[in-house]
Amino acid sequence: MNARSFLPSASTRLAVHARRLGAVVVLALLAGCATAPGGNPKDPFESFNRSVFRFNDGVDTAVLRPAATAYRRVLPSPVRTGVGNFFGNLGDVWNFANSVLQLRLQASAENLMRLNVNTLFGLGGLLDIATEAGIDRHNEDFGQTLGRWGVPPGPYLVIPLLGPSTVRDASVLPIDRIGDPLTYVDGGLVAGSLAVLRVVDTRSNFLRAGQLLDDAALDKYTFTRDAYLQRRASDVYDGNPPENGE
């Protein structure tokens, strides 16, 4: 009976996460009721999403973009490549698991091969030998796995700090966390620093894309949403979505 309190915090964290997510969805539903007719049918929570988008954009401008810019300026390119490769290699664990769940044989084989080659011969993932050898990464997550088996994405949802998502993909984030090796790193400080490093490194790869978005969009929110939903649909079909019109 007392065993519960001795359990590691992972399950508690999951529960907190799920509860927070539940709150987000409820809020979104409430906001959705206020959405004016004539909006995008894939985005019934638009007014809620827009305010989260503004919040995320503010955080990005104030914290993330400056951090990523400094990171890019301070660290030489080979080091950043190593960091990116390292986290990419960790990510291949979950990519492999999901390609198996999707019964994509070639993708599974290639992801597993990548993981082995890069971990064993690429200094624990710092070098991406696999890509150079022509073994491409197949990015798969649990949302895509559900999509593969017919679960529709549901309404578009912008999550605080995490950004664009859909109800389907947001609801399985706790499962994606299980597949994230960083979840299992003990010691708050190490795990925390690694998580921050990963976020900053990821953002630093999108600095130019962010600039492009600023330049190319008439409405950044709509541009991001429409691009994101298309990209996710394409990901579910591994880049070969059924053809439609234009």
Which residues form the interface with another protein (CB under 8 A)?
38, 40, 128, 131, 136-137, 208, 211-212, 215-219, 222-223, 225-227, 230-231, 233-235, 239, 241, 243, 246
In whole angstroms, the minimum distance from the beta carbon of 139 to another protein comes to: 8
Q: Among residues 186 and 246, whose Cβ is nearest to another protein?
A: 246
Q: Are 115 and 140 in contact (CB under 8 A)?
A: no
In whole angstroms, the minimum distance from the beta carbon of 42 to another protein comes to: 10
CA 226, 231, 233, 239 torsion-angle sign: positive
* CB-count burial class (<10 Å; 0-12, 13-18, 19+) for 216: exposed
Element (H, E) at 157: strand 156-159
Q: Among residues 21 and 137, whose Cβ is nearest to another protein?
A: 137
In whole angstroms, the minimum distance from the beta carbon of 131 to another protein comes to: 7
Q: Among residues 30 and 136, whose Cβ is nearest to another protein?
A: 136
Name the residue among 56, 46, 17, 27 with its Cα closest to residue 161.
56
In whole angstroms, the minimum distance from the beta carbon of 70 to another protein comes to: 20
Q: Among residues 186 and 243, whose Cβ is nearest to another protein?
A: 243
Q: State the distance between the two ends of the chain, measured CA to CA, in whole angstroms.
A: 61
* CB-count burial class (<10 Å; 0-12, 13-18, 19+) for 212: exposed
Q: Are 138 and 97 in contact (CB under 8 A)?
A: no
Q: Are 176 and 142 in contact (CB under 8 A)?
A: yes
In whole angstroms, the minimum distance from the beta carbon of 19 to another protein comes to: 33
Going from the C-alpha of 48 to that of each of 61, 159, 214, the distances in angstroms are 20, 10, 22
In whole angstroms, the minimum distance from the beta carbon of 213 to another protein comes to: 9
Distance, in Å, from the CA atom of 246 to the CA atom of 244, rounded to the nearest integer, reads: 6
Q: Among residues 178 and 217, whose Cβ is nearest to another protein?
A: 217
Q: Among residues 25 and 118, whose Cβ is nearest to another protein?
A: 118
In whole angstroms, the minimum distance from the beta carbon of 235 to another protein comes to: 7
64 - beta bridge partners?
Answer: none
Q: Among residues 43 and 60, whose Cβ is nearest to another protein?
A: 43
Q: What phi and psi values does residue 139 have, to the nearest 5 degrees?
A: -75, 120
